[in-house]
Structures are given as structure tokens and as C-alpha cells.
Structure 1
Amino acid sequence: MNMQKYFLPVFLGCCLFLTACKENAIGPFDAGTPAPGPVSNITVEPLPGAVKLTYKLPADKNLLYVKAEVEINGEIRETKASFYQNYMEIQGFGDTTAYNVNIYAVSRSEKVSEPVHIKVKPLMPPVMEAYASLDLNADFGGATVSFENSAEGELNIIMLTKDKAGDWQTADIYYTQKPAGYFSVRGYDTLSREFAVYVKDRWDNRSDTLVKELKPIFEKQLDRTQFREYVLPTDQAPAWGWVMPNIWDGIIVNNTNVDKPGFHTAPGEWPQWFTFSLGVKAKLSRFRFWQRGSWVAFTDRNIKKFEIWGSNEPASDGSWEGWTKLLEGESVKPSGLPMGENSTEDLALVGAGEEFVFPAGTPAVKYIRIKVLETWSGAESFYIMQVAFWGAEAK
């Protein structure tokens, strides 16, 4: 009897609650309100491959965002901006023609205002600027293309060449946001062949294709067995038994043995440098060095920033008289992970060696001096495991 006394009010309360929930179904709280008014006072700022729109928002408490629609390459692209800001940037234009843009104010219930129609005309996009600047020339073992990208757009520069059947094949793809630069494809015979290059951005805008018939310049890896120490008075001495000839013994351990000796210095004067002979006078095309790998990769005394200098008549007092700077280099970790953390890609680069290209016009030299400016940990001594040089012996 007592149980029935308490059960009945509870049961009735639950029924009333469920009924109330049913009758007050949750929906957009501005469902009954009209669409917001349009944006106004629109100004347009042309940018490279983009435009920035600034506008006055409608005075509507239910406004959620503003969107713009524009047709590019046959596709309607939509850009949105929160009601917390009064501007937006529309990106991805592949040329400098005029485009029709429709701008809408949108409420929290996705009610859309009447469109505002405007015309915009972007500045030259990075994909066009880069294409206009392309310079494709024969190089050691292949071809080199240079480019400019002042807006630092995200670009892919695609190099192609023909296979034995005469069909175009991708030789390499170079991703860049640099304001200027160059890259090379190599490994080809010295016979004339066609190379081509075009530029593409992340919106799949593509440039025309530059095609040239080029004759790759002869290149070979210089014979390591001819390398010799050429110790000068200001050079850094070896330490802990890790001597210079170790770096041209040809033994590449590929992250398997951090104890295999390379060339190691002790703390002292900074920066530090060392000198050796190539055994021949050569016009250099590229250089590769191997750092100490595995868990030591991109840490400790591994070289981060350096310079390569060349000479044919080094000053006997160890000064820099008679030396020419050939190359500035920096070791870059592909993953960008903190020091001590390495990805598979990081370790693959350590195993393959880090490669640097000598600029066009580099003079032929016999003697090399590597000047170490910075190590990965900031330590004022360094180690290096292997070096290799490519080019052509000077006549």
C-alpha cells in the first residue's frame, strides 16, 4: 500500500516530463527569424593568386558566418569567415582574369541572405610568376631549373624527360615555398635529350610547359682513394683516434653502428675547419656527407651549418688567402621533430647522405677546406662520418 502511494506520483511526474520534452523539441533557436541582411561596404585588395575582401557585417544577432562563392577552373569554390571578423581571403586563382564572386551572410539556422555580386581581379599568382622565371639548363649528369617565387606560394615544380620509347616520364618533383631556388635531375648520359618543366600549386592550377633539348655534362664521383689529408697550421686536429682518412674509406654504416670511427675534433677554437686534397683538380657538381646516425642523428656534434672552400694554391700559414667559398650548407631534418626524436624519413636521409649542389660557375679546385659553423647541439667540436664529391676532372 505504501509502495503504491509513492509510485503513482513518480509515474505521473515522468509522464509529464516526457510529454513536455515531446512538445518542446529542440531545434534552431532562430528558425522563425528571417534571413540576415547582406554584407555591405565591400572593398577588394588584390593579392598574388588571391583577393582579400573587407566588408561591413549586417546587424543581426543570429549571424553565424559570411561565405563567398566563385567559379575557378569550372569548379565552384567556397570560402567562409566567422562573424567574429569582417574580412576573408579567397585563394587559389590561377591567373589574373576578372572573376565573379557572390557573397552571402548566413544565420545560425543556415538561412542565407541575398547575394552581393562583385568582380575581383587577383595579382599574378605564384604559379605564373614561377613559370615566367623558369630557366632550364644542362648540368652535370642532367639538367637544372631555377625559379623565382616572391610570394612564397606552395608550389610543385615538375621536371620530365622522355624514356626510351619516346614517352614523357616524371623525372622528379620539387616542393617549395622558397622565394627563389633551383633543383636538378641527374643520372643521365651525355647524349642530347629533351627535358621539360612545369609548375603546379595546391589548387591544381598548372602553368604551361617549358621544353628544351639539352646535352647533360659529364659527371662522375671523384675517386675517394686519391683523397689525402693536407693539414695546415690553423686546422683542427683530430681527437680520440677519429682521424680524417676515415671519412673517405667508403664504409657507410647506414644507422647500424654509431661506434664506427669518422673524423672527430675536440673543443677549442670556434669555428673549426679541416683541409684535404681531392688528388685531382676538378670542377665540382655536388657534395654529399654522412653524419653519425641512429639515435645520434641530428643531435650532439653532428654538423648543422658549414661552408666548403676551394683552392689550388693554399697559403702555407693556414690563412684564408687563396681560398674561394664554393658552397654554404645547412643540414635540415625532414620531419622537423625535436632533437632526439627521428622519423623513418630522417634516418633514411642519414643513410643516403645529405646532398648539396655547387652553384653554376664554381671554379675547378684541387684542395677542399670544410669550415664547420654550427653543430646540432651547439657543441664547439664536431664529427663527420663520410664525404663524397661529384664533378669532372679539369683538363
Structure 2
Amino acid sequence: MKTKLYLYLFAAFLLSITSCKEEGRFQANSDDTTAPGIVTDVVYEPLYGGARFYYTPPHDEDLLGVEAVYTNANDKSFTFSASYFADSLEVYGFADTEEYTVQLFAVDRAGNRSEAVNVSVTPLEPAYTRVAESMEVKPGFSSFFLDWTNELEQNINVYVNFKYTVDGTPREFTSVFSSNLAEDRRFINDLFLSPEEKVSVSVRVEDMFGNATEMIDKGQISLYEDIEIPKDNWVLPNANDSIGGVPMCFGDGLEGRARYVIDGIIDQGDNLNFMHTHSRGRTGNSEDGNMPWNYIIDLGDYYELSRIITVQRHSGGLANISRGQYYRNENVGIYNMYIWDEDVDEWVQINQHKIPVPVGLSEIEFVKKGEAGDMAYMFPDDPQYTKPTRWFRYEAVKSFNGNYTLDDANCLSEITLFGRKSN
């Protein structure tokens, strides 16, 4: 037993020596003025707007890492670094595919730099120009949107300049979007223009290194028109009534009422204006489970649908300044949209929509975004109207919880539909 104890103590002693020695690498030594040796065996791999360097670091025991430095056409220098145990280093920010000179330095813990190793590199096309080339501008309903790809997921800013004339008065605006998503779509909303009032659009893309494209003309587009469909004549089936073989959901659990979803009033935490399935939403019978549940609306007339806005349950307190349940507990994260097609006498699925969870918002920003609701097009990639229909079905598929995998979405506050009346 004593032997084991001695072995444990000896191992702990060795570990403490090793740790102290390792920590010593990072302790500055002002007396050290000797520069480390240079990096050797340098080769590079071209990247989009950058380069990846492979090398052998010098065998200095106080080596901290390797730095790469280059200066762009605007005489601004950028420094990139890698720790001493890495054998490669990535450099980004090149504005084009011209040849650049990058200097590699070995750096020790006293801040001494080795002599520079100059490497000439020719990068691939940079990310910001690739984003600009991929960008598409498409007309929407009282809006237009931009699609782009950014496979490197680098931080970019997109400047959208758009102008149009209303009643003889020219108007011009600029919107700016920041993104690092591999694929992104951004909307310019609330442009209540007729198809004859065309919008001229141009874009500019810049990266975090100050590189930017010129303004790129995307031409003129005509927007589509739609209206908010009035809810006065909407009728709801009773819970578990079957419409086309699909049961109407149960939404009258606890404080919730199914009718609140089409009353034009959103839940703001103090008014309890939402439906609640009480975990038995499919039919109202517990044995039938909760999801998917179907909210079915008789529109009272025939309409061609264009888009939908859904508002979640908030329940964020009386002051209405905290996030509450927005984009999480009990709310619907994924839903399907159907219309009743009388030509085939069955429900036809139009689209599935996954409500994205915003990131980086303050509590009050969550409230504002939640109250505005989530907008989705019936046909998101090619905006158009559905066939004329009198019946609309909203099928709640999953909640936000468990990364959109759980069946615990009990609540919904409001559904608003847009489109045009069918002739």
C-alpha cells in the first residue's frame, strides 16, 4: 500500500515539474535578446483569398510560435500567428489573385523575432468576390430578396442600394447586412409598389480586411402585389372534426383557445392570447398524442395564397421586455402548409418552413422580432400564388426544443395569410 502511495506522489512530482517547465515557455524574459532561428522547409497551399503555409519551426526551447505578415495595396499590414506546436499557419485577406509577398517569423517568449523568410504566394479568388458573383436578386411580394453563397463562411458585409420613383418623386435607400453563413437570404420588405413602379438594385460586398467590390448593377425588378386576407369570414372546424381525412387540432387547453389564433391579437405576456394543446393537440384525446397537430381554416371564400406570418406565444411577463418563450419552449419551430385542391379532391402540401432562431439579440430585440412574427412564402425560391383554395391547413411538425426534434409544441398565438381573391 505504501509502495502505491510513493508511486502516486512521484508521478505527481514529475507532472508538477513538467507543468512548471511548460508554463515557463509563456513567461516573458526581458534579459533575452537572442532571436530564434528561422522557419524552414516552407511550402504553401493557395486558398480562397489566402494561403496555408507548412513549415518546420526552429528548435528553440523558448519558441512561442510563428507569425505571418503581409501588407496590402492600401499599405495596411496584417499579422497572423500560430502556436509553437502547430506545423501550419493560415493567412487571409488578399484582395485578388495577384502575387503577394508574405513574411514568416519565428517568435520567442521574450518577443524576439527571427529573420524574415519571404514567400511569394498567388491566392485563389477571394471570398468576397465569390459572394458577389453568386448573388441573386429576386422579386417578392411587396419586397425583394437577395440570395448568396459563402462557402468559406467568412465575415462579409453586403450593401444593397435600391431606388424607385413614387408619384414622380425619386427615392433611394441603402440597407446593410452582415453575415458569415454558408448560404444566406435577406429581405428588403414593406415596399408597397405596383408592378409598374420598378426598383433598381445594385450591391457591393466587402470583407473584414477592407476589401470591397465596386457597386454591381443588378438591374430593375418589378415586385408582386398581395393583400392581407381579411379574417372576418374565417371559420374553424371543431376539435377532432375531420376535413379531408385530417382532424382539426385541439387548442383549448389551460388558458389557451383555438379561436385566438385568428382574432388579430398577438400574445404579449399579459393578455394570454394563444392556443394551447395541453400535450394532446392532434385530436384532443391524450392517446392520440400531441404532434403533428393541424390547424384548419375555412377562408370563407376562394383565395390564391402568397405568404404567411405566424406569431408565437410570448408569455414574457407584464413589462413585455423579456424574451419569454419566443423561439423556444412550447412554440412551433417547423410546420407544413397545405391547401385543399378541389381538382384532385385532397390536401396538397405547398411547403415546409423551419423558423430560424435569431442569434446575438438582446431581450428587447427578441421581443420586437417575436411580435413582428415570422414571415414565410408559400413558394420561397420562386415567389408566386397558390391555386385558388377555400381551405388552408397549418400542420405543426416539431417544436424548437431539442434542436427541432421534440413533439412538445403546445402553443401558437396568431396566423395571418396574404394573397389575392380568386376571380
- Identical residues among aligned pairs (%): 20
Cα-to-partner distance string for 1:142-163 (whole Å, 9 max, x where unaligned): 3222222223333333322237
Contact 2:292 2:407 (C-alpha < 8 Å) held by counterparts: no
Worse overlay, 274-283 or 385-394: 274-283
Q: What is the CA-CA distance between 1:223 and the residue it aligns to? A: 1.7
Shift of 1:380: 4.2
Residues 210-240 of structure 1 show CA distances to partners (whole Å, capped at 9, x for unaligned) of 3222222223222222433355142243243
Q: Which is further off, 224-233 or 366-375?
A: 224-233
Q: Which moved more, 1:229-238 or 1:82-91?
A: 229-238
Maintained 8 Å contact 2:144/2:187 = yes
- Measured after TM superposition, the shift of residue 314 of structure 1 is 8.5
Q: How far apart are residue 205 of structure 1 and its match?
A: 2.4
Change (3 A) 1:57 1:120: same
Can you list the C-alpha shifts for 1:354-378, whole angstroms capped at 9, x where unaligned? 2223411544242322121112343
Match of 2:414 in 1: 386
Superposed CA offset, 1:318-345 (max 9, x none)? xxx4403324222414348xxxxx8222
Q: Offset of 1:350 from its aligned partner? A: 1.8
Aligned to 1:234: 246
Aligned position for 2:44: 44
Cα separation, partners in 2 of 1:201 and 1:236, compared to 1, 3 Å = farther
Structure 1 residues not aligned, in runs of 5+: 1-26, 337-341
Q: Which moved more, 1:265-274 or 1:217-226?
A: 265-274
8 A Cα contact 2:336 2:349, kept in partner: no
Aligned to 1:14: none
Q: CA RMSD in A?
A: 2.8
Determine if the alignment matches structure 1 residue 375 to structure 2 residue 388.
no
Q: Is this contact kept in 2: 1:335–1:343, CA < 8 A?
A: no
Moved more, 190-199 or 225-234: 225-234
In structure 2, what is the Cα distance between the partners aligned to 1:134 and 1:308? 28
User: Which structure 2 residues correspond to residues 30-69 of structure 1 after superposition, within 5 A?
Assistant: 31-69=31-69
**Cα deviation 1:154-198 (Å, max 9, x = unaligned):** 33333222377757421x333333333432212221212322222
SS of residue paired to 1:275: strand
User: 1:370 is paired with a residue of what secondary structure?
Assistant: strand
1:228-286 deviation per Cα after TM superposition (whole angstroms, max 9, x unaligned)? 335514224324364443211111243333x2343633453432223223345444443
Alignment of 1:88-237 (within 5 A): 88-162=89-163, 166=170, 168-170=172-174, 172-188=175-191, 189-190=193-194, 191-211=197-217, 212-229=219-236, 232=243, 233-237=245-249
Note the C-alpha offset of 1:288.
Answer: 1.3
Distance 1:28 1:47, change over 3 A: closer
TM-score by length of 2: 0.75
Alpha-carbon deviations, 1:100-122, whole Å to 9, x = none? 11111122222221111111222
Residue 66 of structure 2 aligns to a residue whose secondary structure is: strand
> Aligned pair in 2 of structure 1 residues 239, 36: CA closer, same or farther (>3 Å)?
closer
Residue number in structure 2 paired with 1:7: none
**Hey, what's the Cα distance between the residues in 1 that align with 2:214 and 2:276?**
48
Give yes or no for contact 1:246–1:386 (8 Å, CA) kept in 2. yes
Task: Tell me the amino acid that sits aligned with residue 359 of structure 2.
Answer: P
1:255 is aligned to 2:275: no
CA distance in 2, matches of 1:183, 1:349: 15
Counterpart of 2:273 in structure 1: which amino acid? K
- Structure with the greater alpha carbon radius of gyration: 1
Q: Return closer, same or farther for 1:300/1:326 CA change in 2, 3 Å cut-off.
A: same
In structure 1, what is the equivalent of residue 311 of structure 2? 290
1:364 aligns with 2:377: no
Please, which moves more after superposition, 288-297 or 219-228?
219-228
The count of corresponding residues between Structure 1 and Structure 2 is 358
Q: Is the 8 A contact 1:314 1:323 kept in 2?
A: no
| CA displacement at 1:56 relative to structure 2 | 0.4
Question: What amino acid sits opposite 1:273 in the alignment?
Answer: N
Shift of the 72–225 alpha-carbon distance from structure 1 to 2, 3 Å rule, reads: farther
Name the CA distance, whole Å, in 2 between partners of 1:236 and 1:382: 14
Residues 332 and 194 (structure 1 numbering): CA distance in 2 closer, same or farther, change over 3 Å? same
User: Which residue does the alignment assign to 2:341?
Assistant: 312
Q: Say whether the 8 Å CA contact 1:137–1:144 is kept in structure 2.
A: yes
1:28-77 CA distance string (max 9 Å, x none): 64735531121111121222222211110011123222111111241111
Letter in 1 for 2:224: I
- Once the two structures are TM-superposed, the CA of residue 381 in structure 1 deviates from its matched residue by 5.3
CA distance in 2, matches of 1:29, 1:177: 40
Q: Is the 8 A contact 2:266 2:273 kept in 1?
A: no
Equivalents in 2 of 1:279, 1:210: separation in Å?
A: 46
Q: Which residue of 2 aligns with 1:323?
A: 348
Confirm or deny: 8 A CA contact 1:225 1:248 kept in the other structure.
Answer: no
1:128-148 CA distance string (max 9 Å, x none): 112112222332213222222
User: Secondary structure in 2 aligned to 1:129?
Assistant: helix
Classify the secondary structure of the residue corresponding to 2:115.
coil
| 1:111 to 1:178, Cα distance in 2 relative to 1, 3 A | closer
CA contact (8 A) 1:271 1:380 kept: no
Is the 2:252–2:258 contact (alpha carbons within 8 Å) kept by the matching residues of 1?
no
Q: Unpaired runs of 5+ in structure 2?
A: 1-26, 317-323
SS at match of 1:173: strand
